[in-house]
Chain A
Amino acid sequence: MTKIKEQIFSKKNLRILKEIAVSDFKVRYQNSILGYVWTLIKPLLLFAVLYVVFSVFMRFPVENYQLYLLLGVIIWNFFAEATVVALRSFETKQSLITKIYFPRIIVVIASTLTSFMTFLLNMLVFLVFLCLSNIGFHFSFFFFLIYIIELYFIILAFSLILSALYVKFRDLSHIWDVLLQIGFWLTPIIYPVSLIPDVYHRFIYLNPLARVIEYSRVVFVDGYIPAFNLNITLAIMTILIFILGMFVFRKFESQIAENI
């Protein structure tokens, strides 16, 4: 087997990572007239439709529902978009990975980072909404940074598994589309968990995204930090998912170039 001592995060590989992520982000919106604005319009439009349906027509009894909803939509949108794009990342970067060697994981990380940049832009919009609302400043806001990190690693783990399996099994893109649609309704995005009967809570909370979204709402809208044991549970879930992601990816990594 190949004996190259490799450091995934050597200076050279980090430069490659940055270059791919940034140029993909540029190119993604370059040929459209509204450019970056699209990154904001897409989730905002979804938000607007859901808001009208569930706040005006159906009237969820939730205070600050618009903030609840917007945060849920933005986080879900990040997860869905990042995994869908990453799933095909080896296919879109085929010309690169069959011609030159660098650690394959860089392709997936770059792809998720590109989506991460979109997410950050969306969060700016959320912060504007937050400032316009009657919620004052809370120190608990800063705790969201931890959830961002956890969210990113959950997304990276899913992306690693999906991208590696997709090379061998092309149906995965359709299957994943369907699962995402189901996931959208099973995750507390448009409704808060408090509206669900207690018996189902433990199933809802098996979904790490449900936790990320709910806890983020708590730090922003309710203005306090969720209980210590809840945070620990989420952290452990994140670590386990990430280990699983790395394990699956490592297993398929060496075959990617010849199977794509």
Chain B
Amino acid sequence: MPKLVELNNINKIFRIPHERRNTLKENFLNFHRKVKIEDFHALKNINLTINQGDFIGIIGRNGSGKSTLLKIIANIYTPTSGEVVVNGSISPFLELGVGFNGDMTARENVYLNGIILGLSHKEIDKKYKEIVKYAELSDFMDMKLKNFSSGMQVRLAFSVAIQADADIYLCDEVLAVGDMSFQKKCFDTFQEFKKAGKTIIYVTHDLPSVKEFCNKTALLDHGEILTFGPTEEVVKKYLQSLNV
């Protein structure tokens, strides 16, 4: 199995000033007072290898570093130390509808979003009907996006996102959207992805879906990977630690 993602000894430290001074006046008036800067160790010594075809779950409490980890893999944040090796293209579903612009029509937004996710104009032309059909929004495509309900926006965004052709998909809580029937549709699509052997890293609090999809799961706690292994065991351990 070829390694798609390799994280070696990743550390991420955010420097959080207690009183943020961004302006000249603030610096000037308070120059005698030292700004207290606290180092927040968001990720500690993370080692993780992800192979092709893996469906990796990442679970853990709020603030345990799950999203930071995804952002490091996606190259949005640079690690403070350590090495990230990514072999392949990444499609982040970190948030749906990246680049959506409320002042443009839904149709224009499909193109804008699709291109940002790496599709070409021609490819979107070809997939356009499919996208609209999947989102169940064919009557609304000439409407400005700001007049869409949030559910409609998310449906449109998800429909575009799954068309992006990438080696690795990063998903951060993206399935907690839409009504029940749309959620089911999303899960079906995930099932297809899995069958097609795509590599997915899935961050969520929804443990049943982790159990259903993920072959391996990492449990994060205070920036450290506590365990990484077969999903069943890791989820069990997580539940024990939560005492529920």
Binding site for B on A (CB under 8 A): 1-4, 11-12, 15-16, 19-20, 23, 26-27, 30-31, 95-102, 168-171, 175, 254-255, 257-258
Contacts and interface: CB of A to CB of B under 8 A. Distances in A.
Interface string B159-174: 0000000000000000
Contacts of A30: 103
Interface string B44-71: 0000000000000000000000000001
Contacts of A16: 115-116
27 contacts: A3-B83, A3-B85, A12-B118, A23-B101, A26-B104, A27-B104, A31-B103, A95-B99, A96-B116, A98-B76, A99-B76, A99-B92, A99-B95, A99-B98, A100-B76, A100-B98, A100-B116, A101-B74, A168-B22, A169-B22, A169-B23, A170-B22, A171-B22, A171-B23, A255-B78, A257-B77, A258-B14
A168 B24 CA distance: 11
Listed residue (B74, B99, B104) with the most chain A CB atoms within 10 angstroms of its CB: B99
Nearest to B72: A2
A76 to B, nearest CB: 26
Contacts of A15: 115, 120-121
Contact of B84 (A3, A19, A255): A3
Q: Give the top 10 A-B pairs by smallest Cβ distance, nearest first.
A: A101-B75, A254-B78, A171-B24, A19-B115, A170-B22, A99-B98, A171-B23, A2-B84, A99-B95, A27-B103
Contacts of B99: 20, 95-96, 100
B125 to A, nearest CB: 13
Given A1-B83, A254-B78, 19 more contacts: A2-B78, A2-B79, A2-B84, A3-B85, A12-B118, A15-B121, A19-B116, A27-B101, A27-B104, A30-B103, A95-B98, A97-B76, A99-B92, A100-B116, A100-B117, A168-B22, A171-B22, A175-B24, A257-B76
B23 A170 contact: yes
Contacts, number: 81
B90 interface: yes
Contacts of A27: 101, 103-104
Listed residue (A12, A99, A254) with the most chain B CB atoms within 10 angstroms of its CB: A99
Contacts of B76: 97-101, 257
Contacts of B95: 99
Interface residues of B, number: 34
Interface in B86-131: 86, 90, 92, 94-95, 98-99, 101, 103-104, 108, 111-112, 115-118, 120-121
A138 to B, nearest CB: 40
Contact of A100 (B23, B74, B104): B74
Contact of A1 (B79, B86, B90, B116): B79
Listed residue (B79, B101, B116, B121) with the most chain A CB atoms within 10 angstroms of its CB: B116
B116 to A, nearest CB: 6
Interface of B: 14, 22-25, 71, 74-79, 83-86, 90, 92, 94-95, 98-99, 101, 103-104, 108, 111-112, 115-118, 120-121
A97 B118 CA distance: 15
A12 B115 CA distance: 8
A175 B24 CA distance: 10
Contacts of A169: 22-24
Contacts of B14: 258
Nearest to B113: A19
Listed residue (B85, B108, B118) with the most chain A CB atoms within 10 angstroms of its CB: B118
A4 B86 contact: yes
A22 to B, nearest CB: 9
A96 B98 contact: yes
Contacts of B115: 15-16, 19
B65 to A, nearest CB: 14
Given A1-B79, A19-B116, A101 B90 contact: yes
A23 B84 contact: no
Contacts of B23: 169-171
A96 B115 CA distance: 13
